[in-house]
Structure 1
Amino acid sequence: MAGLRRPAVLCCGEAVADLVPATLADGSAGFRPVAGGAAVNTAITLARLGVPAGFVGGLSDDPMGRMLREQMEAAGVNLALAQRRAEPATLALAHSLPDGTRFDLYDQGSAGRVFDDAPEVPETARALVFGGISLIHDPAATTFEALAAQATDRLIWLDLNIRPGLVTDAVSYRARLSRLMARADVVKLSDEDLAWWGEVPDVRPDQLRILSHGARGATARLGGTEITLPAPSVVVADTVGAGDVLNAGCLAWLWQSDLLETPLSLDRSDLEAMLTHGIRAAALSVTRPGAAAPTREELLTCVP
């Protein structure tokens, strides 16, 4: 990990080349590749917000994989625990729809799906983030679950981030997510996740729950305290990666406040400040194409 700060937060999951709509040099409509995938988006956002972050997962050596590597390195993400693979990168073709951005995902036989070697968690890591398509298919899904089980004294942040179109064995997938929820200190889900899953049980009284409502804001609940905050009104370019940026914004506030620990000890004012930070980060990101995370300076000075 020479040359980069040792990671305080490990973002564990998929690296995806998002192909987002763009106007080409000749004026025609096309697509441009940008870094994507839940773990990549979260890691880049954390790094841009000043948090030492690392990426854990399969990273292809193909042209799209090299683009992902370059963009993470440019942001300052530590890649010492990334597994370099010959398999192709996962691709996601973005479509802008009236109710948000949707993706066609191409993941069969990808470097991310065949990730099969859980690294040893470095001593500096205070939190690990899991979720997304990386928890659907083996061997990657089992590898990430084993990594979460290894980190017994670290904060585990789980974002369900369910992609129903990729789920081929719903029983096994639900069972895996249930086991991870029982271990997690934080469970984040969207309204869409809740619609697919149904009522998610409260498995631990000290578990922080975050429910994102898109343009309507987000809710945080810890113990007997619950708070819902609206999202700022902004002109939306697209909603790519907004949930990942929300996660990173909340994690960054916890790290900067020296509260990134397990079990979490947050009062109502802490919850409000954390959620405000996350919502502001997400609101700024959706004003720009792709998962364009704000910097710490932008978050302090820009009014979304």
Structure 2
Amino acid sequence: MTSQPLIGEPPVPYRKLVIGEALIDVVQQTDGTVREHCGGSPANVAIALGRLGHAVDLITWLGKDAYADILRDWLTDSGVTITAGTSAAPYTPLATAVLDHDGSATYTFDLTWDLDTSAQIPADTAVIHVGSLAATLEPGSDKVYELMRTARGATTVFDPNIRPSLVSDPEETRRRVERFFDASDVVRASDVDLLWLYPYTDPIEVARRLVRDRRPSLVVVTQGPQGATAVTEHLELHTPTAATTVVDRVGAGDAATGAVIDGLSQAGLLGSENRERLANIDRETLQAILDWAAQLCAYCLSKQGANMPRRTDLTTTLALPTGVPK
């Protein structure tokens, strides 16, 4: 089956909505230096989509301070629209990340999470992505769940992105994560997070069970140096890690999430009207999207501070099978 390169193609013109934290990462390098970067897992996904040319909205929770101004500039410069009601936090969230020798980060947090009463899903939203603290941290978690649960017209995407330093009750956190599994069409999760949730089960087996027993029709498991695996009812595909020089690993999973959403968008598989087609995605399309995720991860790994690519930064293509609608 021949393929058509889609690099630089305009995305499908429906809005994408991301719900979750935007924060300042204070990164302590292995050499003792400290750098500050804009971040937050959901915000990174919004940035990834915005830089790839998508119309993307972000519902988040910021203060009214200098850090909030920095985050707003970072988001809007990448094409992200920050929704109304995002400035009621007592202060803008901070995350301190300590890097180890292989670029992996250990986090501590100083933040709160809630949603303003004005938060709503914009019209023409084809996909809603929820991730990380938005799913587990009260008082905002329940409000986010209600928004996602009632989003009948949109494809729903979820990344649990567990933050153990903020978990006081593992069973309650697992319960909250599982209700988001049950509200999601697509899950992108790291093997580390799935092992935290289900410590005695292989992460790929967890993915199989999510597809078999719960709502998701597609689960993508990122596996660090081992690449990534995608599971549907009919398929189980793998892609290796793309060759790169690792600078740090911050944001690599978020790049994968953005790539999966971008790929599904370009394949015409977003929106409730395409839910059955998504569940029956063909091998060639899924492999192309999985390989695309590996390429965006590699780019992010080669940069400091969750630096997401624009299409013009990339030399590889998303090559969908001929006949797949854009």
Say yes or no: TM over 0.5.
Answer: yes
Q: Secondary structure at the match of 2:114?
A: coil
State the shift of 1:49 in Å. Answer: 0.8
Describe how 1:81-160 pairs up with structure 2 within 5 A. 81=84, 83-108=86-111, 110=112, 113-117=113-117, 119-160=119-160
State the shift of 1:34 in Å. Answer: 1.5
Q: Secondary structure at the match of 1:294?
A: coil
State the shift of 1:228 in Å. Answer: 0.5
Q: Secondary structure at the match of 2:61?
A: strand
Q: Secondary structure at the match of 1:34?
A: strand
State the match for 1:177 in structure 2.
177
**Which moves more between the two structures, 225-234 or 161-170?**
161-170
Q: Do residues 10 (structure 1) and 26 (structure 2) align?
A: no
Letter of the structure 1 residue corresponding to residue 132 of structure 2: G
State the shift of 1:239 in Å. Answer: 0.5
What is the alpha-carbon distance in structure 2 between the residues aligned to residue 47 and residue 150 of structure 1?
25
**Which moves more between the two structures, 195-204 or 69-78?**
195-204
CA gap 1:275/1:301 in 2 versus in 1, 3 angstroms: closer
**Any idea what the Cα deviations from partners look like across 1:260-285, whole Å, max 9, x if unmatched?**
23411411011001111111011101
Q: For structure 2, list consecutive stretches of 5 or more residues without a partner in the other structure.
A: 1-12, 318-326
CA gap 1:257/1:180 in 2 versus in 1, 3 angstroms: same
Q: Give the one of 276, 282, 299 matched to 1:284.
A: 299
Say whether the 8 Å CA contact 1:7–1:78 is kept in structure 2.
no
State the match for 2:7 in structure 1.
none
Q: Do residues 78 (structure 1) and 85 (structure 2) align?
A: no
Describe how 1:1-304 pairs up with structure 2 within 5 A. 8-21=15-28, 30-81=33-84, 83-108=86-111, 110=112, 113-117=113-117, 119-198=119-198, 199=201, 200=206, 201-202=209-210, 203-204=213-214, 207-262=217-272, 263=275, 264=278, 265-300=280-315
What is the alpha-carbon distance in structure 2 between the residues aligned to residue 120 and residue 257 of structure 1?
27
Letter of the structure 2 residue corresponding to residue 256 of structure 1: Q
Q: Which structure is higher in RCO with an 8 Å CA cutoff and minimum separation 6?
A: 2
Say whether the 8 Å CA contact 1:115–1:143 is kept in structure 2.
yes
State the shift of 1:170 in Å. Answer: 2.1
Q: Secondary structure at the match of 1:247?
A: helix
State the percentage of identical aligned residues: 31
State the shift of 1:100 in Å. Answer: 3.6
State the shift of 1:21 in Å. Answer: 4.3
Q: For structure 1, list consecutive stretches of 5 or more residues without a partner in the other structure.
A: 1-5
RMSD: 2.2
TM-score by length of 2: 0.83
What is the alpha-carbon distance in structure 1 between the residues aligned to residue 130 and residue 85 of structure 2?
15
**Which moves more between the two structures, 277-286 or 83-92?**
83-92
Q: Secondary structure at the match of 1:78?
A: strand
State the shift of 1:134 in Å. Answer: 2.1
**Any idea what the Cα deviations from partners look like across 1:146-168, whole Å, max 9, x if unmatched?**
11112122111011111112111
Letter of the structure 1 residue corresponding to residue 187 of structure 2: V
CA gap 1:107/1:146 in 2 versus in 1, 3 angstroms: farther
Give the aligned length: 290
State the shift of 1:86 in Å. Answer: 4.6
Letter of the structure 1 residue corresponding to residue 160 of structure 2: L
